[in-house]
Structure 1
């Protein structure tokens, strides 16, 4: 039987989205499906899915024809495939589709009746409601189909789980087959024994042969033993075996055991499961050589001794049977009690064989289980050793990391010390910088002050120069006037004029010397402006300049006095020239005496000027030295600034290094934290592993205790398992048949549901088109009705205007209100009644 795999169907919830899109008035693309109709079409028209377009404002026109939708898609022979990451669905083309759904036909016929009766001329609200109800029914049907497909998916998943169950069942079946083979072998042996016992009353020589063979087979490893062995054991000594009702009153089983447990261990063969079938099948457990049993070894030895006693009892029983048969062979006339005794011995032997088979099977299961437990214990021991090695490796890594951390900490300490030194150096450089800046500021202030003083002196010198120019101009004018007068008075005052000329020449020379001296001072002041920036020397120069200025002012005052005196004297001379010619010589002499005295007073002035020149030269030399010193200081300041900038750069680099070292320290601290966390985690893991190992040891002990309790139940479970195995096989055959038929039915159902989905989608599309047509026609009719209503309102207004005109004409022509009243009432009633148009 080949398992038929289910079809995995996946249907997206597209119809709900289309319903939402209809409510929002945004059309969607249709799903391309492949459907073949029963009726043959002459031509197939492919439909391109509509795209979303903007709605245009269309003016209603009565001549416009209604929109007719294109026919449905009728493509034949197209194959539809859908694939997901877990499964694949393929739908091959079908010639005809027939759907026999009795439950859905009634709803479908009820939904199709209003479609046949609807016409384009009669549209009402009831038909729209019917369309809405039909759409809801279709949506419900689609939801039911989707739910059915979901159930099919779940069944397919259950099929996957069933495949796993089938694998397990196959493994269980193989193990059961092996057990059945063993049981058949034992049954064949028992049947051969029964057939041999049934041939005993014939008293033939051939009847003893099989028993002899059995005795030869069983007594080969136990040739040194006695023929009779006592069979007395308690249930506490054999925890694996179950209690069996045996007749312990036999003479063969009441004898004592003649060998000790050591002799039994020497004589009994060692058990090994390398040749068994179960051992070769279970490849998951590793083979490790000799068994390393736990404290359960004593129980195992007890079970082995019990099996040995069973074997000894069987051998004794066989030997007794052999003796009876030999007696029967020797005696020609057998006795009836001997025959009964033979039958009893045969039955006892069969019981002993059954007990031995049970004990042997339970012992095999116990030994296999113990072997697997030992293998698991060895695996756990290996895991523990690997974990211990891993712990040792982790501890070594932690030690290395701690050493690295200590080295890094030492590096950090050295870096911090270097940083402290650099901070101290930077503080010293900052103090030097601040002191230099303060000195520089102080010198700049002094320079600004000296420049202000020099500017003031320059202004004063300019004022003095102006005064000198004025005095010179005045002196020149006076000289000219004097020369003119001297020319007139040459004959009279020739000697006096010569003296005056000499005096004037001397005064001019002195004035020229003063001008030169003033120019030198100006040059010195300019030189001082450019280079003189020392406080003490400038003060000395200023004091000397002020002293010279006072002397110049004193000389200027004397010059002014001389000029005034000259002016007064000339005026007096001019006045008295005419009247006092005879007294002119006396006055001139007096004036000469006065002028000579004044000249004598002015004679020390050139010496003072020379002294001032020497002092100016000394000051110039001092200024040059000061300039040199200032240049040296400026060069030293520049060197200090360059050194300061270099130190700043070094500080910036050191700061960057400190920042990088801080970042490294942070990263190292983070790594240290991670390593500490890993250490904590590893320690926790180690503690958990120790706990788990302790728990596993406890569980192993509990399992061993449970094994002792469950071994008693194994015999009864094996019988139930044999009975249930046949039932399970029969049920499996039935289930496979039913499951295969169900799968076929489900596949047919899925195929039918797919066809129904395609039909329903087509019907849904047709209904949507008809709904759009009806809405369009409704809009057209509403526009026509609005036009007609507007026309009727216009006619009513025209009639009202005409009636009003008639009223005015009648009121103007006929002034009789009594005659006109009923006519107006009639007209008003006519106008108030609504006009109905066909």
Structure 2
């Protein structure tokens, strides 16, 4: 390989906005480039991939004084591989610092290249002339990150100035040179320190051999210090030019954004105007479509109305037939229920009469029992008074007997004392004893007889007293039993009186219920009369309507069908009127039965329930009749509307034919005016009857 120095001159110093210089050299050719100090070097924007092979990339410029063809030769695919030193070093602070700076810088470069963002760099970095490496070692290199200018079109790239030719690859080479210089400075300093320590350890002076050993590390140290200072100056110069590049890119991007915004606003305004025009056209088209649809609907209205009227009348006829059959079944069921209710009412009436007679008999028996109990109570009270009188007499007799016994006992005591005294006097005096003995014997006999008599009297008195006590106890027992029986009789009398009071109240309630039912029956009868009058009125109206329909039925076949359906509906109405008459007769029979009812509360309640059911059934029948009348009115109104539409269509056809075939024919439009309503006296009468019916129901 031979050296081929090339000198390139350009007028880029005069103007900073000229196009850059493009130099094409072989890949293994070393280049020595001198850059003026007042020139600011900027970087070109890099794509998101991080690797670009554009022909506008500036080659890596080696530091001045190094022109070897070795590791400083430009190779775009070259990557610096840092080999780890296996030898143990005394100090790894500078190497570890450079390694950390390189790792952080590469990681930040990769992250920012993935995101495609722009970063600002500190503008207050001093120039390398005033800042030493020892005062500010490579700490500020951590903040230096490559700037990626976002742009999608190539036009914005072509407008950049020549200061943005520096790429990420050149920045990486600068950083690698700076790291390499730092490593070599560290190694040279370590060699110098080792030599000095060895001389100091040996304790000898520095000789020429030691100086020759120190010269080479010193030269390497100075060289790499100069290289590091130049790389630092280039990095600082690049960082100072980033702010201007960023401002210019932001200005260009803002201008492009405003231009695009104005373009989009104009496009939106144009689209809005176009949308308004399309909406107007759409409304016109929609209006035309609606008009065409209305015309087609008008053309198909007559046929559809006739067909729908036919189907509606057929359905109404089938419904009327089914309702007639259902009503006939309901009437038969009502008749059977009325017969059953009549039988039940008769049975309830007989049972109520039987219960009433039994209650009356029970009442009379209770009255007789009360009278007999009262008489017995009076007799018991009289017997009690007699017994108490007898007891008083017996007690007086017993008291007299006791006084007599006491008197006799006193006399016997006095006689015994006299006898004792006589015996004592005879013993002391020695007088005549025989006469005294005879007297004593006589007195003893008389005393013995008197004692026997008194004893017999006492026994009789005791017996009589015992019998009197027994009789008194018996009378007391009889008195207590009579009192208990009297209390029972009083309780029974009170219970019977309460039952009589309850029966009287129930009789009063049944009488009041009967009067209320009578009032309700009168009200039902009045409503039936009103319903009959309304039915007669409706019958007259239907007859008049039928006559009008017969007169009108000869005009069109559709009207003839309407007349037939109206006649069938009239026959159905006659059947309903007959059913109403039959129901009125049944209700009259039920009223007669209820008027001749009994005073039993259960029977009255049952009759009230039956009356309510009959009243509800009558209301249902009246509602059904009213619904049928309303349906008839609706059908008549629909028939009138159909007739009017047919007349309008006939007028339209006549006018069309007259205008096409006979233009001289003049048609009086007043005869076939579709806006002139047909006068129907029957419809007016039906409306008036409907209003009358509504007023009657409200009242």
Q: TM exceeds 0.5? A: no
Higher relative contact order (CA 8 A, sep 6+): 1
Greater radius of gyration (CA) = 2
- The TM-score normalised by the length of structure 2 is 0.33
